[in-house]
Amino acid sequence: MPDSLADLSRQLQKFANDREWQQFHSPKNLASALIVEAGELLEHFQWMTEEQSRALPQEKLEAVAAEVSDVLLYLVQLTNALGIDPIAAAQAKLSLNELKYPVDRARGSSKKYDEN
């Protein structure tokens, strides 16, 4: 995990170590915390139309960015705890998706997603 995410990872380890929070940070608990934050993120959008979600007012955008950050902070901590490199894992998954959804068959169709 190079660069920007690696910096974040080191800072988060120090943050948790300084507070002796690693005891609470089992992968099970971090995966729970991640989905809780994903819920707070989705809450901003739940009564919006899709169109409204594409054109957020500045204040809402900042609130959404804060929730996205919380998701990312737990995701990095979870990959730390498990010894996973998130970028390498994401690149591998993206390569699989390239095979799973060939351009000429997937174009313009949301149905491909349903096969997951």
Tokens of 16: 């948790």
The whole-angstrom separation of Cα 9 and Cα 105 is: 38
CB of 52: closest distance to a second copy in angstroms? 8
The whole-angstrom separation of Cα 70 and Cα 76 is: 10
79 touching a second copy, by CB under 8 A = yes
Residue 23's φ and ψ, nearest 5 degrees, are -60, -30
Name the residue with tokens 């979600």: 53
57 touching a second copy, by CB under 8 A = no
58 touching a second copy, by CB under 8 A = no
80 touching a second copy, by CB under 8 A = no
CB of 115: closest distance to a second copy in angstroms? 12
10 touching a second copy, by CB under 8 A = no
68 touching a second copy, by CB under 8 A = yes
Per-residue mark of binding to a second copy, 17-56 (x: CB under 8 A)? -xxxx-xx-xxxx-xxxxxx-xxxxxxxxxxxxxxxxx-x
110 touching a second copy, by CB under 8 A = yes
The whole-angstrom separation of Cα 79 and Cα 83 is: 6
Sign of the CA dihedral running 58, 60, 63, 67: negative
Question: Of 57, 99, 108, 115, which one interacts with a second copy (CB under 8 A)?
Answer: 108
